[in-house]
Amino acid sequence: MLIFLIGFMGSGKSTTGRLLARDLSFGFADIDNLLEEREGMAVTEIFARKGEEYFRKAESEILDAILGFERTVVACGGGTPCFHDNMRKMKEAGVTVYLKVPPDILARRLSGGGRARPLIAGMKGARLNNHIRRLLAGREGWYRQSDIVFNSAESGTAELFSLLRPYLEQQGR
Ligand code: S3P
């Protein structure tokens, strides 16, 4: 059983994923982290030295390896569902969960720094806000194909857990 957490940068995929994995006694896999380990470079460096196309291909290869895992919560990168055949593969292999967060909240979270993100590097204020809205508008169509759309800014992991329960029961966990 695989649970894929999908959503924009700053939507809490890694944090929520770790909590969920702990509560379910599942493993946890973070696509960005696995990619960084494989490449021996940070995501920003991969973008800068090898380009986005290379990054997207590597991201898809990491996903392919994860498809063979069992009982794992997977934190995707913000763009994972929107490239190659990734969304279809994830939907076939497990439960997809969109952590939906309003753009204003994303902008607030992302302007606070945190992990380096090449797609919004050096942006702040209105420019960051507009960029997030534009990027999100182009990605919502992918994100919304998820089995579960979870308003994660308003609800906690207990609610997410109850939405997942039918899927877990169906799989016998
Ligand atoms: C990206 C999101 C990042 C990382 C890369 C590209 C994106 O992951 O994969 O910087 O395209 O939205 P997070 O969503 O974990 O920040």
Mean pLDDT for the chain? 95
**CB neighbours of residue 54 within 10 Å:** 13
| Spacing, Cα 79 to ligand 1 middle (Å) | 6
Structure confidence at residue 23 as a pLDDT band (50, 70, 90): very high
- Write the pLDDT tens digit of every residue in 63-82: 999 999 999 999 999 999 99
SS3 content of the chain, % helix, strand, coil (to 5): 60, 15, 30
The pLDDT, as a whole number, for residue 157 is 87
Residues with CB under 6 A from ligand 1: 9, 13, 32, 43, 77-79, 117-119
Which residue's CA is the closest to the ligand 1 atom numbered 4?
A: 77
Domains of the chain: 2-166 (3.40.50.300)
Residue 31 CA: nearest ligand 1 atom is 9
Which residue's CA is the closest to the ligand 1 atom numbered 3?
A: 77
- Where are the extended beta strands (E) located within the chain? 2-6, 27-30, 72-75, 95-100, 148-151
The pLDDT, as a whole number, for residue 172 is 62
| Spacing, Cα 149 to ligand 1 middle (Å) | 19
Residues 155, 147: Cα–Cα separation, whole Å: 17
Which residue's CA is the closest to the ligand 1 atom numbered 8?
A: 77
| pTM for the whole structure | 0.96
